[in-house]
Structure 1
């Protein structure tokens, strides 16, 4: 499988890829030589297209250069499953989301993932499993274009009936969803969250 990376800007995606994407007509190509994330950020936001791609000879090396060109912020979170097979989601900024947060100094990635999930949902993680994937999204922080890299882990919990949203972080709801009834999530979530759900085979990728 050809290597590729997705950088999300709000609801839009820039695909860094070694070959043209399927349904390439749906994408706007960005020239490799001219690509600069700081410059491309506003242009992508203002462009009518939602899908963009950059064709690279060496995708991994190109993405490494992109990461070095901006401030990189690392975060971690998780997809939590309980003993009845339900999955935990939070509602924040008018979207369904998964709990996550910035990795603090002197803190390990796994440690941060568990801490953020427990703080944002008011639960106790009883088991930390494998890394699902890493996602990337870009936004403006203090006037600068930054790239956030988020590590997503599978997690387990037992007997957690009383959920407590961390309201100071803008979370207004925390809820369990059966994997066969997550259409409300699919209809109102972020593309990066869809990546996690696709990786776990809870949904199929639509593009």
Structure 2
């Protein structure tokens, strides 16, 4: 099962058909995604489930439904085990950004974290979840596929918010602050923390 978010509401890719309650089932092969996105954005429905018989083909078939944007990002820990957060569009988020040509996804993740926060000396510990969400740019919907990495750093310098990317704050948050920040964050970020 995979979750693709439209705002904070999920499109769930699954092989299981269940009785509809506060969600709707559609067949992945014949679904009109624009209609589903509109339904999630304008009604009280909690989620949509897209059904396909082959669980190994669910994600691949879904990703062919609209253009994809590939991104990399980091869940970065300092030596105190605080997590690096950015504040953008009135929500707490983790640093991430689009991949550039001839760049590995690991290089993308490290570059984007550094550009958005000013933090250097990043070391990837391990890959973590890949998240999916649908966004609209220039009147067209796209699926953002973000590859996330757990990172560590001993960086002690000043944090720098990349204002041209709409980032207004960059902060190291401890466990309690992280829990508070997640009250005003995205569903995808909650999955990662």
TM-score, normalising length from structure 1?
0.85
Q: Tell me if the contact between 2:40 and 2:47 (Cα under 8 Å) persists in the aligned partners.
A: no
Matches within 5 A, 1:61-100: 61-100=57-96
TM-superposed CA distance for 1:20, in Å, is 5.6
> Where do 4+ consecutive residues of structure 1 move more than 6 Å?
none
Mapped partners of 1:131, 1:64: distance in 2: 20
| 2:169 corresponding residue in structure 1 | 173
TM-superposed CA distance for 1:143, in Å, is 1.9
Of 120-129 and 71-80, deviating more is 120-129
| 2:128 corresponding residue in structure 1 | 132
Matches within 5 A, 1:1-207: 4-19=1-16, 25-197=21-193
Of 53-62 and 128-137, deviating more is 53-62
Q: Tell me if the contact between 1:11 and 1:50 (Cα under 8 Å) persists in the aligned partners.
A: no
TM-superposed CA distance for 1:78, in Å, is 0.3
TM-superposed CA distance for 1:189, in Å, is 0.3
Of 163-172 and 42-51, deviating more is 42-51
Mapped partners of 2:175, 2:22: distance in 1: 30
Q: Tell me if the contact between 1:125 and 1:157 (Cα under 8 Å) persists in the aligned partners.
A: yes
Structure 2 portions without partners, runs of 5+ = none
Number of residue pairs aligned between Structure 1 and Structure 2: 193
Mapped partners of 1:184, 1:83: distance in 2: 21
1:7 is paired with a residue whose SS is strand
Mapped partners of 1:70, 1:158: distance in 2: 40
Structure 1 portions without partners, runs of 5+ = 198-207
RMSD across aligned positions (CA): 2.0
2:129 is paired with a residue whose SS is strand
Q: Tell me if the contact between 2:27 and 2:52 (Cα under 8 Å) persists in the aligned partners.
A: no
Mapped partners of 2:121, 2:128: distance in 1: 16
Encode CA deviations 1:81-139: one digit per residue, 9 max, x unaligned: 00011111000000000000000111110000000000000110331121101001111
